[in-house]
Structure 1
Amino acid sequence: MSDSFRTRLRRGDLLVGTIVGLDAPEVIEILVGAGFDWLFLDAEHAPASPQNLQRLIIAAGSTPCLVRLPTQDEIWVKRALDSGAAGIIVPQVNTAAQAANIVRYAKYPPEGARGIGIARALGYGYEVADYIGRANAETVVMVQAEHLEAVRNIEAIAAVPGIDGFFVGPYDLSASMGKTGQVADPEVVAAIDTVSRAGKARSLSLGIFGVSPESVAPRIAAGYTLVACGVDTMLLGNGARAVAQALKPAR
């Protein structure tokens, strides 16, 4: 039996994925075929519904999907996990109390208070005992460090049992510091480094997004192992533009 995605994550394997915002199972199948280790299904900035997310997860087959939730709401946590996601990425987690609530929603008793439903992850009712028996050990809970408040509270957040790691949101973090989009600004970089140190001190996994391999390479060298590189729309757009610009007459 192969190791779970969470086992690979906590072991420190380099796991390369990309962000998916398009609501198309065909896109998922193409990305899986490209060889990504995992897919970042975005329900925060993309118009995703629970029903459509489940269809995308089904299309991904054995490739693990992490769902970035639109809110910290308990119902969204349950819906994402019940649909068969390998885990969740939760935005704007700025305090230890918020992080503790997320863990409680994501884990079954005694580690949490996740409700039991007859859903896809539980084999539509035919694999309830099997799933519940392994879910707590296999469900990934990543919280986003993407605000200056989170950076200030990062050691307390890191100490919350059940958190698997931090997924840094460099663009939102820069905005919260009054430096919107300036992700290479020394103060923004220093804030990201603060998150890195807190995570490493607790042996937590570190994740980050970048628009290109070149942009994430320094973070991989610094110990980030959960990498979301690129976005489906830009991967499509970049490929299409390259073809169009290569073939049309120079203007």
Structure 2
Amino acid sequence: MTTMPSFRSRLAEGQPLLGTMITLPSAAVAEILSDAGFDWLFIDGEHGPLQTQDILAMLQAVGDRTPCLVRVPAAGEVAIKTVLDLGAEGIIVPQVNTAEQAANVVQWARYAPQGSRGVGLARAHGYGRRFKEYVETANERTVVVVQAEHIQAVENIEAIVKVPGVDAVLLGPYDLSASLGKMGQIDDPTVIAAIDRVTEVCQRAKMPLGYFGVTAAAVQPFIDRGYTLITAGVDTVLLAHAAGQMLKQLRKS
């Protein structure tokens, strides 16, 4: 029986991985988007109303069909441990601005001796039935993505990409623009220069790069630049757009 390569190994190999973002507290939405055929799902626990129980229900609905990375609210040990114990394939951590912060994130996401992740019995461990199997493979499978979304992260990006255990850097253009006093002006030359620096340093270090955009057109330029961890669209926007398009067609008839 052939074992499918892990999401982490596919990321390291530079495979294009297309995902979309889930913000609604609905297991059905997660299930529908999983069935749509995305390579992965970005469950957003930072912005919006998602609680631990919502994230658990989403992971249960998706099962093993589609890898799910959960964005935690902040770089904190408890939040990271909680979503990994729920069975997330990995974490996305916002506002990682220094190598020290990145190293802490990796520590909290890995079991000893590579880290200091707390040991419990939860869904990830088959509620105890697959504890040994999970603990033996978790360090090799768990994906750690840090977000570069502040000018401080840009300034420290060379040190951040050298932290062992960081699997990808996800660019956050809107927060980055805000940190530069250019809120939402992602085409401003100062913002573009910061993005270019992150891109250049990561690609030189062979660090996979991620990007989020609301539309396919928004992410395509970054795919063309070699970004591979792609988040295109948000559940709310996809729903609103589809509804609006249908109404427009009906009102023309």
Any idea what the Cα deviations from partners look like across 1:18-75, whole Å, max 9, x if unmatched?
A: 1100011111111112111110000000211112101111111220000011011101
Q: 1:41 is matched with which residue: 21, 43, 48?
A: 43
Q: 2:140 is matched with which residue: 137, 142, 150?
A: 137
* Structure 2 counterpart of 1:152, one-letter code: E
Any idea what the Cα deviations from partners look like across 1:94-115, whole Å, max 9, x if unmatched?
A: 0111101000000001110001
Aligned to 1:159: 162
Any idea what the Cα deviations from partners look like across 1:189-215, whole Å, max 9, x if unmatched?
A: 221111112212222110010111111
Any idea what the Cα deviations from partners look like across 1:145-188, whole Å, max 9, x if unmatched?
A: 00001000111111111101100011100111111111122221
Aligned to 1:178: 181
- Secondary structure in 2 matching 1:218: helix
**Aligned residue runs from structure 1 range 12-31, under 5 A:** 12-31=14-33
TM-score between both structures, scaled by the size of structure 2: 0.97
Root-mean-square deviation (Å): 1.0
* Structure 2 counterpart of 1:137, one-letter code: E
Tell me whether 1:205 sits opposite 2:208 in the alignment: yes
Q: 2:94 is matched with which residue: 91, 96, 116?
A: 91
- Secondary structure in 2 matching 1:155: helix
* Runs (5+) with no aligned partner, structure 1: none
TM-score between both structures, scaled by the size of structure 1: 0.97
Distance (Å, rounded) in 1 between the aligned partners of 2:233 and 2:13: 24
Tell me whether 1:219 sits opposite 2:219 in the alignment: no
* Structure 1 counterpart of 2:73, one-letter code: P
* Structure 2 counterpart of 1:120, one-letter code: R
Q: Which runs of 4+ in 1 moved over 3 A?
A: none
Q: 2:199 is matched with which residue: 196, 201, 211?
A: 196
Shift of 1:249: 5.4
- Secondary structure in 2 matching 1:191: helix
- Secondary structure in 2 matching 1:70: coil
Tell me whether 1:120 sits opposite 2:109 in the alignment: no
Tell me whether 1:234 sits opposite 2:207 in the alignment: no
What percent identity do the matched residue pairs reach? 52
Distance (Å, rounded) in 1 between the aligned partners of 2:200 and 2:167: 15
Aligned residues: 250
**Aligned residue runs from structure 1 range 62-73, under 5 A:** 62-73=65-76
Distance (Å, rounded) in 2 between the aligned partners of 1:249 and 1:145: 45
- Secondary structure in 2 matching 1:182: coil
